[in-house]
């Protein structure tokens, strides 16, 4: 008998299945050739078809879009830059091979900015996605941003864009692309609609006021493919043949638009969304009018996509939000309206951090002093606990819209505000026998 206590024994090392193969694949857009360039004024839709790889699964977290972005000025000698994070996608659409729409997210560039603001790991991958706000004031990092600006006006900058909505976001579940119907010749179709240049670019100096655009080249969709043995995949097929289905949990975003007209101080914003498991909602105030040519702008707070409501500026005719509350039927969220009595708007930030379960973490809006006033938004979570239980707000149970009631410090005297609200709802994508798909509201266990 051994003299060593059993607790000191190490676990035996297990040999992995050699029949499991992992490979990285680069897909080219189906609407392009080797030298095709995409631009907002020309070929402005980047479309990918993911094949129904046999016995294979795709890792959503390892899937991303890669491209080389380059400025295209119409006047020689002028220079321009991309906004933080290179937000050049305005709309994202994902469809199954059968034609069913899984994701259709408009105002996607605004959602990207919102999620980057609350990303607790924004400092770690800023260089990959082209967001250098984390390094403001640091000489070496500022040099990296300045170098990107030079390259953007030269041979271009290589950027990684992580897909932020649907089955490719926040999911640990692998996608069994081999089980999708390939009636259209592919398992999934992903379409990226490009943003207008003035919504994602600005001049570097005050004299850069001429016309401008951009183009994307070397555009690829990077996939990590895991191929299982035929015997394992056959068991999945047997389950489908017996009437079972594969369920894939996913989080989906949908945008809703409204307006605050001039002369208004207190308004009710109606958000009509029928969902069984509405997890959270994020509302931002934006300028209703945009300018087609933008010269030098403050990095991360550009004029056309700048978030309003965080401060009052009489010169720009903007007013800060002083109180807000969401309501649905006879319930209110939070139970008592949020009253912003100090100009730092910090109570709204505290409320957002708590609702997004970011306590103790350092996203951009927390880490950077005074960033919140320029990145102000209204956040409310409806989940009662941070788990996979279906415990969000069921807006389909009662024929009543979600209403945001907010008040400004004084009536608007300038242009109207555009209010964009993103609702995040949990859904489940089912794959049935024969590869047909169905999308159901609510999250279910995939076990």
pLDDT higher than threshold 90 for residue 370: no
Please list the residues that pair with 46 across neighbouring strands.
192
3-state DSSP assignment of residue 437: strand
Per-residue pLDDT of 405-436, as tens digits, reads 999 999 988 788 999 999 999 888 888 877 88
pLDDT higher than threshold 90 for residue 109: yes
HEC per residue, 236-293: HHHHHHCCCCEEEEEEEEEEEEEEECCCCCEEEEEECCCCCCEEEEEEEEEECCCCCC
Burial status of residue 384 (CB atoms within 10 A of its CB: 0-12, 13-18, 19 or more): exposed
| CA atoms of 147 and 153, how far apart (whole Å) | 10
pLDDT higher than threshold 70 for residue 49: yes
pLDDT higher than threshold 60 for residue 291: yes
Full-model pTM: 0.89
Domain ranges (residues) in the chain: 18-441
| CA atoms of 221 and 46, how far apart (whole Å) | 10
Helix, strand, coil shares of the chain, percent, nearest 5, are 20, 35, 45
- Please compute the mean of the pLDDT values over residues 280-290 and round it to a whole number: 93
Q: Which of 152-161, 170-179, 263-272, 393-402 shows the lowest mean pLDDT across its residues?
A: 170-179
Q: Which of 12-16, 242-246, 421-425 has the highest mean pLDDT?
A: 421-425
Per-residue pLDDT of 323-358, as tens digits, reads 999 999 899 999 999 999 999 999 999 999 999 999
pLDDT higher than threshold 80 for residue 359: yes
Q: Residues 282, 385: contact at Cβ < 8 Å?
A: no
Looking at domain 18-441, its CATH architecture is Distorted Sandwich (2.70)
């Amino acid at each position: 008998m051994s003299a060593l206590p059993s607790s000191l024994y190490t676990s035996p090392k297990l040999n992995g299945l050699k029949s499991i193969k992992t490979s990285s694949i680069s897909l080219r857009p189906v609407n392009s050739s080797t030298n095709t360039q995409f631009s907002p004024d020309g070929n402005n839709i980047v479309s990918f078809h993911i094949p129904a790889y046999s016995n294979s699964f795709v890792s959503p977290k390892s899937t991303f879009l890669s491209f080389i972005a380059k400025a295209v000025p119409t006047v020689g000698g002028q220079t321009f830059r991309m906004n933080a994070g290179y937000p050049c996608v305005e709309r994202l659409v994902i469809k199954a091979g059968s034609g069913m729409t899984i994701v259709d997210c408009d105002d996607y560039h605004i959602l990207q900015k919102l999620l980057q603001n609350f990303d607790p790991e924004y400092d770690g991958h800023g260089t990959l996605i082209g967001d250098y706000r984390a390094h403001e004031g640091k000489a070496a990092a500022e040099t990296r941003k300045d170098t990107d600006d030079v390259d953007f006006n030269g041979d271009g900058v290589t950027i990684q864009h992580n897909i932020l909505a649907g089955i490719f976001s926040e999911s640990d579940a692998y996608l069994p692309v081999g089980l999708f119907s390939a009636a259209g010749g592919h398992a999934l179709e992903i379409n990226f609609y490009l943003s207008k240049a003035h919504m994602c670019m600005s001049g570097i100096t005050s004299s850069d006021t001429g016309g401008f655009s951009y183009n994307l080249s070397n555009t690829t969709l990077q996939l990590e493919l895991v191929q299982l043995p035929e015997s394992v995949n056959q068991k999945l097929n047997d389950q489908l043949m017996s009437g079972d289905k594969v369920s894939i949990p996913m989080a989906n975003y949908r945008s809703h638009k409204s307006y605050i007209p001039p002369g208004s101080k207190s308004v009710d914003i109606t958000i009509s969304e029928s969902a069984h498991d509405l997890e959270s909602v994020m509302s931002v105030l934006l300028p209703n009018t945009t300018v087609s040519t933008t010269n030098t702008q403050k990095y991360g707070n550009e004029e056309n996509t700048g978030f309003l409501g965080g401060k009052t500026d009489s010169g720009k005719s903007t007013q800060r939000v002083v109180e807000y509350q969401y309501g649905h039927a006879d319930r209110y969220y939070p139970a008592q309206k949020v009253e912003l009595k100090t100009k730092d708007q910090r109570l709204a930030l505290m409320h957002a951090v708590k609702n997004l379960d970011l306590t103790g973490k350092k996203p951009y809006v927390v880490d950077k002093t005074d960033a919140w006033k320029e990145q102000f938004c209204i956040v409310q979570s409806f989940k009662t606990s941070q788990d996979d239980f279906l415990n969000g707000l069921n807006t389909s149970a009662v024929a009543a819209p979600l209403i945001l009631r907010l008040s400004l410090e004084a009536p608007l005297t300038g242009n109207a505000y555009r209010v964009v609200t993103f609702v995040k709802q949990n859904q489940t994508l089912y794959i049935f026998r024969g590869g047909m798909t169905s999308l159901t509201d609510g999250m279910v266990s995939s076990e």
